[in-house]
């Protein structure tokens, strides 16, 4: 009884806490000062049509670097906890005929879509993180369909480390070429033509490396979860 | 007007899925219900003109998190709630 009373009090308190947000809400009719600065800067300064990408990669680039680091640590933790013990994995049911044929058709297209999403991150919605997760879901489909599907761990680890290293290196390159206060500034490459693939300075390069890093990390997470952690 | 109706419908579906996820006895049903919540959230993000967030929510929330939960469920080999 007292348990349900406490739960009810918690729910009412939560509602009381959040009610002012709803009551005072009004739709903004114009951008505030910071948003105006971002929109103008990404159009005139950086040549990035997708303002979200401009904010994520450039104006809040340090946050993105932190996010990538968090993801790296999470992957390392999963790999450490679920490391293989040398035992052969238990018997798995092979994928059905439908799954096998469907994955043979779909997996290359899914990986291609992921690559498209992160290389066009500065033009269309999406970017490194989304593209990386799409690539990892393609790998998941292959892992589910074929029991003996294995990708090279050396390759995955090298792709992960190299792309993370290159991301930091590009950030330092901005610092080196453009002077102080310009860590992760992508403007050391040419701005290029508005709306073309090779434009917006180093933004597509940075997002491609983030995409590779996220894709390889999440693929290795799926791989560890698939056949690690037995016989603990 | 229709847009608000669709939004209300999506929010209702996600609330029902959330309550079901808490009340159901089978853990696998709860995992699927939480995936449904993420899917509804991603459609809502798409409708309010935030395609970047919608993409992230659909791939990570509805796709990867559900799969990771299913793998974890396979490893603990439980199923009944505590």
First to last CA, chain A: 40
Tell me whether A7 touches chain B (CB under 8 Å). no
Contact B64, A137 (CB under 8 A): yes
DSSP annotation string for A23-89: HT----SS--HHHHHHHHIIIIIS--S-HHHIIIIIITHHHHHHHHHHHHHHHHHHHHHT---SPPP
Q: Count, in order, helices (H) and strands (E) of chain A.
A: 8, 0
pLDDT tens column, A26-51: 888 888 888 888 888 888 877 888 88
Residue A180, classed as helix, strand or coil, is: coil
Please indicate whether, in this complex, the C-beta atoms of A130 and B52 are within 8 angstroms of each other.
yes
- Cα Rg of chain B, angstroms: 14
pLDDT in the model for residue A112: 93
Contact A98, A141 (CB under 8 A): no
Complex ipTM value = 0.81
Please indicate whether, in this complex, the C-beta atoms of B63 and A133 are within 8 angstroms of each other.
yes
Q: Which of B67, B72, B75 sits opposite A140 (nearest CB)?
A: B67
Q: Which of B64, B71, B75 sits opposite A137 (nearest CB)?
A: B64
Give how far A126 is from chain B: nearest CA, Å: 5
pLDDT in the model for residue B36: 92
Give how far A225 is from chain B: nearest CA, Å: 6
CA–CA separation, B28 vs B25, rounded Å?
9
Domain boundaries, chain B: 2-75
Cα separations in angstroms, A231 against A140, A173, A227: 23, 47, 11
Using a pLDDT cut of 70, give the percent of chain A over it: 94
Using a pLDDT cut of 90, give the percent of chain A over it: 13
Taking CA–CA distances from A232, the nearest residue in chain B reads B75
Q: Which of A53, A125, A137 sits opposite B63 (nearest CB)?
A: A137
- Which of 56-75 (B) contact A at CB < 8 A? 56, 59-60, 63-64, 67-68, 71-72, 75
Which pair of structure tokens corresponds to residue A178? 């453009």
Neighbours of B41 (CB within 10 A): 19
pLDDT tens column, B45-77: 999 888 889 988 998 888 889 988 888 887 776
Please indicate whether, in this complex, the C-beta atoms of A134 and B59 are within 8 angstroms of each other.
yes
- Which of 7-26 (B) contact A at CB < 8 A? none
Please count the residue pairs, one from chain A and one from chain B, whose beta carbons lie less than 8 angstroms apart: 39
| Better-predicted residue by pLDDT, A230 or A2 | A2
Residue A202, classed as helix, strand or coil, is: coil
Residues of chain B with C-beta less than 8 angstroms from the C-beta of A129: 56, 60
pLDDT in the model for residue A87: 53
A84: pLDDT confidence band, cut at 50, 70 and 90?
low
CA–CA separation, A212 vs A118, rounded Å?
9
CA–CA separation, A212 vs B63, rounded Å?
19
A203: pLDDT confidence band, cut at 50, 70 and 90?
confident
């Amino acid at each position: 009884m007292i348990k349900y009373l406490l739960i009810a009090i918690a729910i009412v308190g939560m509602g009381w806490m959040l009610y002012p947000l709803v009551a005072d809400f009004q739709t903004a009719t114009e951008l505030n000062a910071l948003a105006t600065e971002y929109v103008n800067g990404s159009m005139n300064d950086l040549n990035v049509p997708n303002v979200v990408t401009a904010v994520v990669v450039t104006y809040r680039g340090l946050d993105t670097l932190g996010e990538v680091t968090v993801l790296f640590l999470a992957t390392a933790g999963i790999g450490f906890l679920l490391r293989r013990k040398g035992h052969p994995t238990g018997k798995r049911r092979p994928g059905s005929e439908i799954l096998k044929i469907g994955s043979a058709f779909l997996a290359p297209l899914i990986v291609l879509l992921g690559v498209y999403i992160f290389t066009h991150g500065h033009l269309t919605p999406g970017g490194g993180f989304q593209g990386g997760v799409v690539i990892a879901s393609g790998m998941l489909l292959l892992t589910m369909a074929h029991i003996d599907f294995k990708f090279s761990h050396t390759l995955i680890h090298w792709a992960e480390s190299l792309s993370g290293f290159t991301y930091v290196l590009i950030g330092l390159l901005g610092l080196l070429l453009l002077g102080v206060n310009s860590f992760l500034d992508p403007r050391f490459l040419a701005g290029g033509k508005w709306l073309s693939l090779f434009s917006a300075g180093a933004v597509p390069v940075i997002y491609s490396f983030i995409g590779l890093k996220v894709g390889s990390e999440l693929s290795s997470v799926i791989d560890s979860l698939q056949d690690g952690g037995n016989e603990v | 007007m229709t847009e608000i109706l669709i939004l209300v419908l999506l929010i209702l579906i996600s609330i029902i899925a959330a309550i079901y996820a808490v009340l159901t006895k089978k853990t696998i049903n709860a995992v699927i219900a939480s995936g449904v919540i993420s899917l509804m959230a991603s459609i809502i993000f798409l409708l309010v003109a935030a395609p970047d967030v919608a993409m992230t929510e659909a791939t990570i929330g509805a796709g990867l998190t559900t799969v990771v939960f299913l793998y974890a469920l396979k490893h603990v080999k439980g199923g009944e709630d505590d």
